[in-house]
Amino acid sequence: MNCIIIEDEIPAQKILNNFISKIPNLELVDTFKAAIEANTFLNSNTVDVVFLDINLPDISGIDFIKTIKNPPAIIMTTAYPDYAVNSFELDTIVDYLVKPFSFDRFLKAVNKAKDRKERFNNITVEDEETIFLNVDKTLHKLVLNSILFIESDRNYITVVTESQRFSYIDSLKNWKEKLPSNQFIQVHKSYIINSKFVSKISGNVLFVKDNKIPIGRTYKQDLLVKLGV
């Protein structure tokens, strides 16, 4: 994989450069102090990973991502832990590194970027796993990746996508057993969420797109670990 660094602090640049040099098959292409400089480069070059500081002199890292067409995997770097919890806003962000970070933590982030690249290289429309839901004597075909969250209410389950809601008799336990646990995370006794659609976390409330989902106290630590916070 090739990568670039967008970081205005020289010591932080040196640390990233040093860590990158230790990882085989990760090549540093260029380093930029400002997002505007990197923007010119990205308009005519393709990279696999961008190590991006949140606090930049001309535009914030988060705002800069929104200007990139077909952005690569982004690993954010920040000195402020609150960003890592509250800024899960874009699918292209694979991890947040809170300064100062260790090489082990850096390697974990790089592996997430590698996994994302492999998924994008291998996925086709036919690869999307589907299931059929039997609701009101009608079978509905559903792509698993389209599920935002699943809500339990007594003996009923409601499966929610961006465009549909399906309610029928079932249990959250059955769904937890059939869904891939690395992507679908139970965050409350009544909710399983698709981590792909997490936009932010504020206190004990998680946002899946525009939907507010409560986080149960006993589930929060596992959630943060699985999100890589």
Query: Where are the domains positioned within the chain?
Result: 2-122, 127-227
Give Dmax over CA atoms of the chain in angstroms. 63
pLDDT of residue 90: 58
Could you read off the pLDDT of 177-215 as tens digits, one per residue?
Answer: 888 887 899 999 999 999 989 988 999 999 998 899 999
* 127-227 placed in CATH 1.50.10.10: no
Class of domain 2-122 as given by CATH: alpha beta
Distance spanning both ends of the chain, measured CA to CA? 23
**Rounded-to-integer distance, Cα 122 and Cα 109, Å:** 20
Q: Which two tokens stand for residue 99?
A: 């300064």
Could you read off the pLDDT of 101-114 as tens digits, one per residue?
Answer: 999 999 999 998 98
Single-letter amino acid code for the residue at 183: Q
Say how many C-beta atoms besides its own lie within 10 A of residue 76's C-beta: 23
Cβ-contact 42, 68 below 8 angstroms? yes
Counting as low any pLDDT under 50, the low residues of the chain are: 85-89, 123-126
Which residue shows structure tokens 């260790």? Answer: 102
